[in-house]
Amino acid sequence: MDLLDQLTHSFRQTFNAEPTLVCSPGRVNLIGEHTDYNEGFVLPAAIDKAIYLAVSQRPDNELHFVAHDLDKTYQGSLTSLIPTHTWADYLLGVVAQFRLAGHGLGGINCVFGGTIPMGSGLSSSAALENGVGFALNELFQLGIQRVDMVKLSQRAENEFVGAKVGIMDMFASMMGKANHVIKLDCRSLDYTYAPLRMDGISVVLCDSQVKHSLVTSEYNTRRAQCEAGVRFLQTFYPEIRSLRDVTMPMLDQHLRDAEPLIYRRCAYVVQENQRLLDGVEALEANDIATFGQLMYGSHEGLSHWYEVSCPELDILVDIARQQPGVLGARMMGGGFGGCTINLVQEDVLDDFRKLITKQYKARTGKDTYLHVCKIQDGTHVIS
């Protein structure tokens, strides 16, 4: 049985009812890393690795959740929504936020499982939260707009789970559109879709199998460095609010000699925002080759200017550059491990898989796992 059949079967066995089925995808970000908390732009897309949920209303106020992949269950009540510090918090947090927002809910049954590789940086938690919110909206006919569901998902993770994440992951998972990327303005939440015409090209993720503990501490340090750069520049330009408002001439004139390290951090962010805008123009002109070169530029900036890469990620990008038919590659996510994202022509996919598996093992002693993705629609009911 495929996963959907398994979830449906498990739901019927457990609850003796017919479920509503929801698909909530993971996401990739093609370009625009560490720009979100600087009020810049990001360019994510929803992918065909997803969380699937089988759900129904209950006649009481109880909450019954089954984590199919973990073979674990949770039972609780709408009247007692408190963190458990387990996987159940990703569901409970969303229920709690819907209640706080004044939406009338009853009890629910839910069986869920997924095809998002764990720990791969594809935002399985955001997909699960969106899936739960979307299911509640469907089951209780609440009429909530998608963007408002995204905000409730983010609040659930920030306030209930306790992870201070930005809005990109939830936004991409909920708002994705097949064969398109989302140009999201993280200041205003204005967004547009740009076409991603990927005929004969695959999005391939290469997992470095590195999980560094540096991510949180260094993330906070980078954020503080960007804020320090803004404060320094505000003495000359009181009107600027974030690095979104800063130009390279401003940085070159005032920051480069005075604060060389802060200059490098800020310069990366300013340049990355411009790379993203140039990348959207390239996509609209169906110029994937230029877009791929901008991805390489993004990695160079992340590695040498922002310094959030690691030797393994640099090696994966270096190997990708050697393979004819790889249009672009870069690290994706917070850094210090996780995946690279690669645009690979489908006719060289087998060669790419062999080359990167063999050379990565030879150069690092580690295995890499490849995930081939398609760009799909955001969270939706499966009819």
Domains in the chain with CATH codes: 3-197+377-382 (3.30.230.10), 201-373 (3.30.70.890)
Q: pLDDT tens for residues 124-139?
A: 899 999 999 999 999 9
Q: Give residue 44's pLDDT band: very low, low, confident or very high (50, 70, 90).
A: very high
* Closest among 338, 25, 272, 52 to 169, alpha carbons compared: 25
Whole-number Å distance between alpha carbons of 316 and 320: 6
* Strands of the 326-331 sheet, one edge to the other: 326-331, 337-345, 201-211, 369-373
Q: Give residue 58's pLDDT band: very low, low, confident or very high (50, 70, 90).
A: very high
Q: Is 175 helix (H, G, I), strand (E, B) or coil?
A: helix
Residue 117 pLDDT > 90, yes or no?
A: no
Q: Known binder of ligand: residue 119?
A: yes
Q: Known binder of ligand: residue 360?
A: no
Whole-number Å distance between alpha carbons of 353 and 122: 20
Q: Known binder of ligand: residue 131?
A: no
Residue 219 pLDDT > 90, yes or no?
A: no
Whole-number Å distance between alpha carbons of 340 and 370: 10
Give me the chain's average pLDDT, please.
94
Q: Known binder of ligand: residue 272?
A: no
Q: Which residue has the higher pLDDT, 63 or 37?
A: 63
Q: Give residue 119's pLDDT band: very low, low, confident or very high (50, 70, 90).
A: low
Whole-number Å distance between alpha carbons of 323 and 206: 14
pLDDT at 122: 79
Q: Give residue 116's pLDDT band: very low, low, confident or very high (50, 70, 90).
A: confident
Mean pLDDT, range 14-19, rounded to an integer: 96
Q: Known binder of ligand: residue 159?
A: no
**Which residues are the active-site residues?**
169
In degrees, to the nearest 5, what angle opens at C-alpha 183 toward C-alphas 178 and 186?
A: 130
Burial class of residue 114 in the structure, from the number of CB atoms within 10 Å of its CB (0-12 exposed, 13-18 middle, 19+ buried): buried
Q: pLDDT tens for residues 338-361?
A: 899 999 999 999 999 999 999 999
pLDDT at 193: 95
Residue 141 pLDDT > 70, yes or no?
A: yes
Residue 213 pLDDT > 80, yes or no?
A: no
pLDDT at 156: 96
Residue 118 pLDDT > 80, yes or no?
A: no
Whole-number Å distance between alpha carbons of 77 and 99: 12
The answer to whether the CB of 329 falls within 8 A of the CB of 298 is no
Whole-number Å distance between alpha carbons of 182 and 48: 16
For the record, the structure tokens of 229 come out as 């750069």
Q: pLDDT tens for residues 314-336?
A: 999 999 999 999 999 999 988 88
pLDDT at 198: 82
Percentage of the residues of the chain whose pLDDT score is greater than 90 = 89
The answer to whether the CB of 94 falls within 8 A of the CB of 156 is yes
Q: Known binder of ligand: residue 10?
A: no
Q: Known binder of ligand: residue 157?
A: yes
Residue 162 pLDDT > 90, yes or no?
A: no
Of 48-62, 82-96, 194-208, the range with the lowest mean pLDDT is 194-208
Burial class of residue 107 in the structure, from the number of CB atoms within 10 Å of its CB (0-12 exposed, 13-18 middle, 19+ buried): middle
Q: Known binder of ligand: residue 298?
A: no
pLDDT at 70: 94
